[in-house]
Amino acid sequence: MTLAAVSRPPRMLFQPVGPCWVCGGTGLRPFHQCRFDFHEYAVQDPALDEYSGESVRLVRCDACGFSQPEKLPTLPRFFDRMYDQRWSEEWVENEFEASYKDFIFRTILRELDRRVPGRPRRLLDVGAHAGRFMHLAQQAGWEVEGIELNPRTAACAARRTGAPVHHVNAHTLVASGARFRAITLTDVLEHIPEPITLLQTIGRLLEPGGSIAVKVPCGRSQWYKERLLSVLIPSRRISLADNLVHVNHFTPRSLAMALKRAGFRDVLVRTAAPELPPRPSFLGRVASNASRIAVYTAARCPGAVHTPLALHLQAYASVGAVPAREDEAVR
Ligand SMILES: [Zn+2]
């Protein structure tokens, strides 16, 4: 063994992240430590499992309230590898049939119907998963296409909708010349580092006057919720973005700012509709749904999108439309 081999420095697992991805601010304060545990990938992807036991701090921007990781893994295609989940055919089919997100999906379709009238009209769902939203959009009169990188869910979405499901990212689709009147990103943007780059690309995929609909968790409200749960259940550890499953933690203000900086106009940020998950018993489901809808209804009151009741955010914006007044952007 040579001396060079013996003294080789360990591989750098992380690289630092620069200023705030939304506003460029450099006043970034740490507030949470995310832990990594990839032991379930030990056989499938040992390089990913090397990150088990590591941790990354989340930092909050003093200027805009957005939060992001202090550093990112250097492993090539880290996030693609993390999302390379090999679900069973049965599980994927169940995801297509499941209605727990239908309240969210129908709320988005109602607003897009108002913003993008007339037919024919084309919609692209980025992160189409098993195709449930594409299916509901077809029922609402849209010609749909999807982007889905996981081959198993993409195959299900294509088979169940009969529509094109692209196995490429949005940047590649721009080069193909495809254009749409509406583009949806539901529970997608929180996973993509440097979110303004993706939003700018989405802007290039939209026809003039077209609309984007973006749903993300509200980072600040999720943090308050985790803290409250850890007080109510002392054995519960605050778990926010472990494995960096979410890299972007938006507030209403920073989400509106990200859309404007990406070139969008007519930006509106509201409280997003909740998931209504199934429960084992009928009464359990009624109680769960009633409480979720009650919180959502309260969080839809004027100004309440800025309170911890707004657990998720739903933004709409347009390209090439008349700019909204600044004070109308978030409500
Ligand atoms: Zn910022």
Tens digit of each residue's pLDDT (9 = 90 or more) over 246-292: 999 999 999 999 999 999 999 999 999 999 988 888 888 899 999 99
Comparison of pLDDT for 11 and 223, the residue scoring more: 223
Comparison of pLDDT for 239 and 61, the residue scoring more: 61
How far away, in angstroms, is 202 Cα from ligand 1 center? 21
How far away, in angstroms, is 255 Cα from ligand 1 center? 10
How far away, in angstroms, is 261 Cα from ligand 1 center? 12
How far away, in angstroms, is 259 Cα from ligand 1 center? 13
How far away, in angstroms, is 63 Cα from ligand 1 center? 5
Comparison of pLDDT for 4 and 235, the residue scoring more: 235
How far away, in angstroms, is 58 Cα from ligand 1 center? 13
7 confidence band (pLDDT: 50, 70, 90): low
**How far is residue 215's CA from residue 312's CA, in Å, rounded to a whole number?**
7
**How far is residue 81's CA from residue 70's CA, in Å, rounded to a whole number?**
21
Q: What are phi and psi of 219, to 5 degrees?
A: -55, -45
How far away, in angstroms, is 28 Cα from ligand 1 center? 8
8 confidence band (pLDDT: 50, 70, 90): low
236 confidence band (pLDDT: 50, 70, 90): confident
Task: Round the CA-based radius of gyration of the chain to a whole number and report it.
Answer: 21
How much is the pLDDT for 330?
Answer: 60
How far away, in angstroms, is 257 Cα from ligand 1 center? 9
How far away, in angstroms, is 258 Cα from ligand 1 center? 9
pTM of the full predicted structure?
A: 0.90
How far away, in angstroms, is 65 Cα from ligand 1 center? 6
How far away, in angstroms, is 243 Cα from ligand 1 center? 23
Residues ≥6 apart with Cβ < 8 Å to 17: 68, 69, 70, 71, 72, 193
How much is the pLDDT for 329?
Answer: 53
How far away, in angstroms, is 70 Cα from ligand 1 center? 13
Distances (CA, A) of 191 to 69, 110, 186, 217, 241: 12, 25, 11, 11, 10
How much is the pLDDT for 173?
Answer: 94
How much is the pLDDT for 324?
Answer: 45
